[in-house]
Amino acid sequence: MAADVQHTLAGSATLEGTSLHTGEKVSLTLKPAPEGHGFKFRRTDLPDQPFISADVEKVQTVERATTLAEGSVKVHTVEHVLSALTGMGVDNALIEMDANEPPIGDGSSRPFVELIKKAGIVAQNATRKTWEIREPIHQEMGDGTLITIVPSKTFRVSVTNVGPEGRFTQYFSSEVTPELYEKEIAPARTFVYYEDVKPLLEKGLIKGGSLESAVVIRGNEVMSKEALRFSNEFARHKALDLIGDLILSGKRILGHVIAVKPGHGPNTKMASTLKVEYSRMRSMVPPVSIPKGETVLDINDVLKILPHRYPFLLVDRVVDFDGETKCTGIKNVTVNEPFFPGHFPGHPIMPGVLQLEAMAQVSSVLMLRKPENAGKIGYFMSADNVKWRRPVLPGDTLFIESEVIKIRGSIGQTRCRCLVNGEVVSEGELKFALMDR
């Protein structure tokens, strides 16, 4: 499965069963959805068949499960189906239900994985936007619960489950890929402590619960229809829930999620934090139309990749990567640039050759980020089809787009252009050699 494009379902598939908390019979159907749709639930049993987006802003309650609400319309226990869709690499899907809660099945997300495989998965044309976490995000709760997300080149979850009085303390850690999710995470079943069963029943919950749909822990004993599927099945199920809750942020991430005593409350709080942090990160980008991708390299990251320094560093930030072949950098042009005093004093204009150099530097970031090119340096070989279309003035924000069009051995060729306010100001095709420093 190509990881750099969005995926949806190839067709529809239906699962019938009993819901955990309400005990109602329910039919759930997964359907394909267009690019950029994300996950949405639809209550087909209600008038007008309303939709509810899988968005952390719709979270209403998190007691023993995650509930979404839009006005008076609710969907309960959404985490298992969302976890399965996320873990199996699906980005866009419509989840139709004729009741307010999905079927519980055996208490794991394996029935939903099987449903997804029955429907099939197909690639779409739009790029998958994955947010690469670049700074740790941390939160703690008063009961010893903590969730931290640290930078990583993959999506990984590490979970420590701690029960009452420290019972069944377990640890699980895994990268999350469709193959690993299906094998290592999806089969893990939900569990409940015996002392919690009566209070939950008194609250009108777990009406559809049974030893076929959950594992019950009584003291240090495990009550279950079958033996534990893993020695650390409870920690794995916590990882399953965590994946389903975090996707309510609306963003897939590259990062290592480390959780101790996670639960739906802390999970959805972290999903909300992710959404806020993502908005803050995007606010650093001027409100101009830009391409796809979600990685941001600040100036410190750029300095680690490029050998250039003041006054010849012409990239302030990289705001987008679209796969491994395209990226967009930014140069904020100010009147304090060292070239302005000598380039048309009284009518300052950014030299066209420096725009060309900015294109080369962004191209170098694109090429030098590859592990095999680490530590190398890019030397200009040629510039073709170069055109300057309008002057760049102090106060302009220069968006520098670069796309690799050919690479052979140590020789790379890119197509580049600079834009101001969405208008192309210069462009060209560059060829350069990657050499050891």
Q: Dump pLDDT digits (tens) for 377-415.
A: 888 889 999 999 999 999 999 999 999 998 888 888 999
Could you tell me how far CA 363 lies from the centroid of its own chain? Answer: 25
pLDDT above 70 for 156: yes
- The dihedral of CA 385, 389, 392, 397: what is its sign? negative
**Domain at 299-436, CATH class:** alpha beta
Q: Which CATH architecture has domain 5-282?
A: 2-Layer Sandwich (3.30)
Q: Is the pLDDT of residue 76 over 60?
A: yes
Per-residue confidence (pLDDT) for residue 290, from 0 to 100: 40
Helices (H) and strands (E) in the chain, counts: 8, 25
Contact 284, 317 (CB under 8 A): yes
pLDDT category at 1 given cuts 50, 70, 90 is low
pLDDT at 51: 94
* pLDDT given for residue 212 in this prediction: 66
Q: Is 164 exposed, middle or buried (0-12, 13-18, 19+ CB in 10 A)?
A: exposed
For 134, 151, 259, 274, the CA distances from 139, given in Å and listed in that order, are: 16, 15, 10, 11
Q: Which residue has the higher pLDDT, 87 or 306?
A: 87
User: Given this model, what pLDDT does residue 258 score?
Assistant: 98
- Which of 186, 326, 155 has its CA nearest to residue 252? 155
Which residues, other chains included, contact 247 with Cβ-Cβ below 8 Å and sequence gap of 6+?
A: 39, 54, 82, 83, 85, 86, 271
Position 167 scores a pLDDT of 86
The pLDDT of residue 204: 58
Contacts of 117 (CB under 8 A, 6+ apart): 88
Residue 210 confidence (pLDDT) above 70: no
How much of the chain exceeds pLDDT 90, in percent?
60
Three-class DSSP category at 220: coil
Give the least confident one: 101-105, 210-214, 259-263: 210-214
The domain locations on the chain are 5-282, 299-436
Tell me the average pLDDT of the chain.
89
Q: What is the dihedral of CA 158, 127, 183, 109, to 10 degrees?
A: 80
Q: Specify the range with the lowest mean pLDDT, choosing from 108-112, 247-251, 432-436.
A: 432-436
Task: Report how far residue 426's alpha carbon sits from residue 418's, in angstroms, rounded to the nearest whole number.
Answer: 5
Lowest-confidence pick of 8-22, 45-59, 145-159: 8-22
pLDDT of residue 237: 97
Cα dihedral 215/216/220/226 (nearest 10): -40
Using alpha carbons only, give the angle 18, 19, 22 rounded to the nearest 5 degrees: 120
- Rounded to two decimals, what is the model's pTM? 0.71
Indicate the pLDDT class of residue 284, thresholds 50, 70 and 90: low
Q: Which of 17-26, 91-100, 287-296 has the highest mean pLDDT?
A: 91-100
Mean pLDDT lowest for which of 67-81, 207-221, 334-348, 414-428?
207-221
Determine the average pLDDT of the residues in 213-226. Answer: 82
Q: What percent of the chain has pLDDT over 70?
A: 92
pLDDT band for 206, please (50, 70, 90 cuts): low
pLDDT at site 34: 96
pLDDT category, 312, cuts 50, 70, 90?
A: very high
pLDDT tens, position by position, 95-144 = 999 999 999 889 999 999 999 999 999 999 998 989 989 889 999 988 88
User: Is the pLDDT reported for residue 283 higher than 90?
Assistant: no
257 or 320, which is more confident? 257
Placement of tokens 């967009």 in the chain: 328
Known catalytic residues are 264, 343
